[in-house]
Amino acid sequence: MSHIPENLALILQRIERACIANNRDPQDVRLLLATKTVPADRIRLAIAAGQTLIGENKIQEIKEKYHDLVDLKPINHFIGHLQTNKIKDILKYDVTCIHSVDRLDLASKLHQRLTLENKKIEVLIQVNTSQEESKFGVAPEEALALIQEVAQFDTLRIKGLMTIGLFSADEAQIRPCFKLLKSIQQQAIQLNLPQVEMKELSMGMSGDLEIAIAEGATIVRVGTAIFGERIYPDSYYWNENK
């Protein structure tokens, strides 16, 4: 039996309540289904229940599920760590936005490949707001410089920022991560860079989406609370050497 429609309804309710509590329009917060490890037939249930935006962490999983989902025309984002040797692959599967651009080398190689294919793609700059070594993302103090560098690549359309909040049960430790992302967004807006839109803040997951919405999230990425617990620990996805 699947609880996916019920779980989804609960998440949508949490999003709506958090928006109302913070004087925000629920339309301004999009739900992204974080579908790592979830088989295509279960993702189909969530799409059938009205969802359109999905995000994978690994190219291999996009490859495996792409053809089983393509008839439903989901919007595909990429939310995992992107290795430069996978760039060619990611461009084969209609990924419209990469949330995890966190270094110049990656941006520059993406730009080279996109130029060759005469394509453009949306990107978010991933910032390591929790400063944990295990997490990817540019260091907060280097984020503005990276944004300026990436802005020079006309194939990459910067739409905003992404972060993963600190894993903690303590709200007082999570909230500063989201506040920091917001403040980097405000500073980036001040730079007035041509072609750069700083409207998206991709932050908040199953455990902390209310805090993220209170701090300005426009995309929340939710997996566990919709699809259930995963077998692999998240470090499997978030550590370089795995």
Ligand X SMILES: *Cc1c(COP(=O)(O)O)cnc(C)c1O
**Footprint on this chain of ligand X (rule: CB under 6 A):** 34, 36, 57, 79, 164, 205-207, 221-225, 237
Report, in Å, the least distance between residue 191 CB and ligand X: 26
**Please, which residue, 69 or 82, has the CB nearer to ligand X?**
82
The b/e string for 70-96 (b: 16+ C-beta within 10 A; e otherwise) is: eeeebebbbbbbbeeebbeebbebebe
**Please, which residue, 80 or 151, has the CB nearer to ligand X?**
80
Residue 28's closest CA among 191, 168, 179, 199? Answer: 199
Report, in Å, the least distance between residue 58 CB and ligand X: 10
Report, in Å, the least distance between residue 118 CB and ligand X: 29
Residue 75's closest CA among 101, 47, 106? Answer: 47
Q: Which amino acid is residue 136, in one-letter code?
A: F
The Cα–Cα gap between 209 and 173 comes to 14
Report, in Å, the least distance between residue 42 CB and ligand X: 14
Residue nearest ligand X (C-beta atom):
223
**Please, which residue, 52 or 206, has the CB nearer to ligand X?**
206
Question: To 5 degrees, how large is the angle CA 224–CA 22–CA 188?
Answer: 85
Neighbours of 226 (CB within 10 A): 26
**Please, which residue, 140 or 165, has the CB nearer to ligand X?**
165
Report, in Å, the least distance between residue 205 CB and ligand X: 4
**DSSP tally for the chain: helices H, then strands E:** 10, 8
**Please, which residue, 65 or 221, has the CB nearer to ligand X?**
221
**Please, which residue, 99 or 155, has the CB nearer to ligand X?**
99
Residue 112's closest CA among 95, 87, 92? Answer: 87
Report, in Å, the least distance between residue 121 CB and ligand X: 18
